[in-house]
Structure 1
C-alpha cells in the first residue's frame, strides 16, 4: 500500500485531520442547544461537512486513501482518491446550505448538485487516467468547464433567487457565495499545476498543503461564517414559483 511522503505532505494531512475534527466538534457544541427547526437544518448539514472531511483526511494521513497510478509517459503518480470521495459528498452539502439560504426551488438545487457531481466525477476520471498526460488534461478541462457553468449558475439563477430575501439574509448569502467563488476557482489551478496534472510545477507536498488550506477555508471557514449568523438563518424563506407550489 502506498504511504504519504514525509515532511510537508504528511504534516498537511494531519493538520487537515485535526482542523476538520475541531471544526466538527465546534459546530456540534454550537448547535447542541438549538431548538429552532430551520436553524437545526443548517447545523445538521454543516456538521456533516467537516465530519466527512475529517474521515477523508485521516484516511489519507494513514495511507489508506492513497493509491499509485501508472501513467504512460509520466511514470507512477501518487493519487489521493479519498480527496475525491470527500468532495463528492461535502461539496453538494455546501451547495445545499447556500441554496437553502437563497430560498432556492428544487429544480435549482437539483441543477447545482448535478453539475457538482459531474464536476467531481470527471475530476476523478482525470486523476485516475492512465493513457497519458493529454487525457488527464482533457478530463481536467471537462471538469473545469462544469465548474465554470456551476459558478455562473451561482452568480445568475441562485443570486437572483437570493435577492428576494431580506437584507441580512441576502448579505450573508453574498458573503458565502463569494467565498465559494474564490476558493473553488483555485482548485483546478492547483490540480493542473500539481502532480495530478502531470506538470508537477507544484510538488506533491505543496500541492497537498494547498488543497488542505482550501478545504479548511471552504468547509470550516464557510460553516463558521454561516452558523455565526444564527438569527439570520430562520429568516430565509423559499422563493419562486416552485417553492410556492411546494
Structure 2
C-alpha cells in the first residue's frame, strides 16, 4: 500500500534520504583505492549501512513501507514499518563495524547481533500489533531488556577486547561505542513518548524528525568518525577474531 506523506513527515524523510545518499557517496569515495582486505571491510560495511538506509528513507518518502494499525480504544495509528526493516539490517552492521574495530571473537559478535535482532523484532511487534497500550508498553519493556543486555556486552566484553588494540584504535572505539550508547538510548525514549506507544506526547511529524536526526547521527556521523583516519584503521589488529577462527 502506498500512503500519502506530507508536511513535516515528508520534509524529514526527504532530508533523511538526501543525508543518507550523501553519506553513501562520500564513503564510496573514501574507500576508493583501499587495497588492504581487513581495512576494506570497514568501508564496505559502513557503505552498506547508509546505502540500505537511503533506500528505506526513499521508500518512506514515496509513501511505501507505511501501514495503519487499529489499536483497541486508541483509534488508528500510522506506522512506518519500513523503519524497522531498515534497523533490522543496519544496526547489526553497525555492531559488526565496532566488533571489527575491537578485533573481537565471533562468539561476541553473535551475542551482540542476536540481542540486537531480538530488540528490533520485539520493538517492531510492539509497533505493528493491533493491541492496546498495556501490551504495547509491555513489549517495549521486553525490547528494552534486550537493549540493556546489549549495552552490557558492549561496555564489558567488547570494550575489554578493544583495550588490547593500540592507543589510537582503542580511543576511536571508545568514541564510537559511546556515540552508539547515547544515540541508541534515545530511540526507545522517543518511541515511548511518541505515537507508536499510543502515549502520543510527541506528534508523528516531530517523532519522524527525531528518528531521522538520530538515524543520520548513528549512521552517517558514525561512518565519518570511523573512516576519516586511514592511519588508525591501519593499526587495527584482527588477531582476536583470527584466533577464534583458527
Same fold (TM over 0.5): yes
CA contact 2:101–2:173 (8 Å) conserved in 1: yes
Match of 1:89 in 2: 89
Q: For 1:244 and 1:235, locate their aligned partners in 2 and report how far apart those are by CA, in whole Å.
A: 20
Q: For 1:91 and 1:241, locate their aligned partners in 2 and report how far apart those are by CA, in whole Å.
A: 20
What do the CA deviations read for 1:209-237 (whole angstroms, capped 9, x no partner)?
Answer: 00000000000000000000211112212
Q: For 1:208 and 1:176, locate their aligned partners in 2 and report how far apart those are by CA, in whole Å.
A: 24
Aligned-pair distance for 1:131?
1.9
Match of 1:50 in 2: 50
Q: Which runs of 5+ in 2 are unaligned?
A: none
What do the CA deviations read for 1:101-145 (whole angstroms, capped 9, x no partner)?
Answer: 001000000000000000000000000121211111111111111
Match of 2:209 in 1: 209
Residue 146 and residue 244 in structure 1: after superposition, are their counterparts in 2 closer, same or farther (change >3 A)?
Answer: closer
Aligned-pair distance for 1:2?
5.4
Residue 4 and residue 140 in structure 1: after superposition, are their counterparts in 2 closer, same or farther (change >3 A)?
Answer: farther
Deviates more, 1:233-242 or 1:147-156: 233-242
RMSD: 1.4
Q: For 1:76 and 1:2, locate their aligned partners in 2 and report how far apart those are by CA, in whole Å.
A: 17
What do the CA deviations read for 1:83-102 (whole angstroms, capped 9, x no partner)?
Answer: 00000000000000000100
Q: For 2:241 and 2:15, locate their aligned partners in 1 and report how far apart those are by CA, in whole Å.
A: 45
Match of 2:226 in 1: 226
Q: For 1:117 and 1:58, locate their aligned partners in 2 and report how far apart those are by CA, in whole Å.
A: 23
Q: For 1:5 and 1:225, locate their aligned partners in 2 and report how far apart those are by CA, in whole Å.
A: 33
Q: So what's the TM-score if we normalise by structure 1?
A: 0.97
**SS across alignment from 2:237:** coil
CA contact 2:104–2:241 (8 Å) conserved in 1: no
**SS across alignment from 2:95:** helix
CA contact 1:193–1:200 (8 Å) conserved in 2: yes
- The answer on 1:66 being equivalent to 2:66 is yes
Match of 2:187 in 1: 187
CA contact 2:98–2:173 (8 Å) conserved in 1: yes
Aligned-pair distance for 1:238?
3.2
Match of 1:114 in 2: 114
Q: For 1:25 and 1:131, locate their aligned partners in 2 and report how far apart those are by CA, in whole Å.
A: 41
**SS across alignment from 1:73:** coil
Q: For 2:245 and 2:71, locate their aligned partners in 1 and report how far apart those are by CA, in whole Å.
A: 52
Q: So what's the TM-score if we normalise by structure 2?
A: 0.97
Deviates more, 1:210-219 or 1:2-11: 2-11
Q: For 1:236 and 1:36, locate their aligned partners in 2 and report how far apart those are by CA, in whole Å.
A: 12
CA contact 1:106–1:242 (8 Å) conserved in 2: no
Q: For 1:86 and 1:184, locate their aligned partners in 2 and report how far apart those are by CA, in whole Å.
A: 14
